[in-house]
Amino acid sequence: MFSASTKKLRHLPFFSASWRIRPSADFFFFLFSYFLITCEKQTTPVEDKRPVLNVTLQDVAVTEAWLQIETGKTTPEDSLILLRNDSAVFRMFPVKSDTLVYDEGLLPAHEYNYQTVISRRGHIMVIEELTATTMDTTSHDFQWEIIEFPSPFGSGALYDIAIVSKFEAWAVGEIYADSAKPWLPYNAVHITLETGGGVELESLRIPYIYNGSPIVSPLSWVYAQNENDIWFSNSVHWNGKYFENADIAVSIFSGIGINKIWGTPDGELYVVGNKGNIAYSPDHGSNWQKLESGTDLPIQDIWGMTDPQTGKQIILAPASTKYTWNVPLLLNISPAGVSREFLSVYNLIHSVWFKSLRKVYLCGSGVYCRTNGTWNRLPDLPTIFTNRIRGNDDNDIWVVGDFGIALHFNGVSWREYPQLWLQNGKWEGLAVTNDLVAIVGRKGADAVMVVTRLN
């Protein structure tokens, strides 16, 4: 008879007594190597697919701001929006790598928060913020000091003025007021502005020495770099101690009138004049070279500034006749050469001023402003011919001209000053600093000057 029985099975551990393995050093080395390999850190970089965004405030005026937007690593799906105080002022799709945004219609002396956002498929990828504060307007109210210089022995006038400091200025022209030598003009006036408010005037004859003999002639312009570096139109230089012959570009301007000069603090000089002539000196007038302008129009003015971002000089000069119609030019001058812009204003241009290339002002037969490459004639201004434009900043610009017209722009509005009208005369020269405004010209047969202190 077959019988069956049931036995309970005893579950042995994996390493039973009969199958136990004694771990060796090789075994541990194998395990260590395995985990080292499998746990090795991933060294291949993970590509960051987020766009790169950099926004900088290039400039800000009273009612305008310029923002530079630079991007990188964008895709065709990306879009950009610029917000000012949560209101969209600029959109871009597709996104470009380098864009200058012009924002206008702002309020004076206001703070604005700008947000630049790049989005992809509805998701914000990157945001950058910056704050801009607009400039305030300046005052239109001034106390004028009008000084006349009688010229009983000939037709007198002052043609130009240079402010040296808040206490000193030089005016030049011709004043026939010496009864002993009625034919010989005083060609300069040294002006000292006293702290208490007084003005001390000294009429001078500044000569050019030719073959040992002094020659005194009317002076048409003056340029002051500082109190020890002043240039006069008869090729004379004041070095802080005495007047000396300077022979300003005589080989280039022989028999041709020089109309204006501009220089840099490190000694570069540029002179412009009739028949399109331009001369450049890299070494404070020791050597001169001619720069070809490509025009034979007279160049009436020159103005320059140093670009704070690049450190390079920006120098502009208008080429135009004064009272006969022509197509004027605006010349961009550098030691390397001259480029020309045919002006679309189609009018007579006499003077230029700017703080940056973003806004350039011209005056002559009208007052013009180029903003972001577009020229516009400023409306609602008198149609009288203007001879000079100068300024401190975008909120403090002056224009003067024929019949004593004098205009001031405070960043928002223009004002005319009837008290400065000259019924039988005109304003020729103008200089503006943070401390002073000085205007010179002719009233009848006499020379006349106006000074107002700002500080």
Query: Residue 441: what pLDDT?
Result: 98
- Give the Cβ contact number of residue 89 at 10 Å: 18
The C-alpha torsion from 419 through 423 and 428 to 429, rounded to 10°, is -20
Residue 319 φ/ψ, nearest 5 degrees? -115, 115
**Quick one: which of 214, 224, 281 has its CA closest to 249?**
281
pLDDT in tens, the chain (455 residues): 323 333 332 333 333 333 333 444 453 444 344 444 444 444 555 456 799 999 999 999 999 999 999 999 999 999 999 999 999 999 999 999 999 999 999 999 999 999 999 999 999 999 999 999 999 999 999 999 999 999 999 999 999 999 999 999 999 999 999 999 999 999 999 999 988 788 999 999 999 999 999 999 999 999 999 999 999 999 999 999 999 999 999 889 887 889 999 999 899 999 999 999 999 999 999 999 999 999 999 999 999 998 887 888 999 999 998 877 778 999 999 999 999 998 876 678 999 999 999 999 999 999 999 998 899 999 999 999 999 999 999 999 999 999 999 999 999 999 999 999 998 999 999 999 999 999 999 999 999 999 998 87
Query: Residue 28: what pLDDT?
Result: 40
Question: CB within 8 A of 374, min separation 6: which ones?
Answer: none
**The two structure tokens encoding residue 173:** 């022209």
Which region, left, alpha or beta, applies to residue 182 given φ > 0 means left and ψ of -120 to 50 means alpha?
alpha
Q: Can you tell me the distance from the alpha carbon of 363 to that of 358, in angstroms, rounded to the nearest whole number?
A: 17
Q: What is the largest CA-CA distance in the chain?
A: 169
- Peptide bond preceding 308: is omega within 30 degrees of 0, i.e. cis? no
Question: CB within 8 A of 3, min separation 6: which ones?
Answer: none
Which DSSP category does 181 fall into?
A: S
Alpha carbon 125 to its chain's center: 36
Q: Can you tell me the distance from the alpha carbon of 429 to that of 406, in angstroms, rounded to the nearest whole number?
A: 11
* Domains of the chain (ranges, CATH numbers): 52-133 (2.60.40.10), 145-453 (2.130.10.10)
Query: Residue 149: what pLDDT?
Result: 97
Query: Residue 324: what pLDDT?
Result: 75
| Helix, strand, coil distribution of the chain in percent, nearest 5 | 5, 50, 45
Q: Can you tell me the distance from the alpha carbon of 209 to that of 247, in angstroms, rounded to the nearest whole number?
A: 11
**The two structure tokens encoding residue 147:** 């000084």
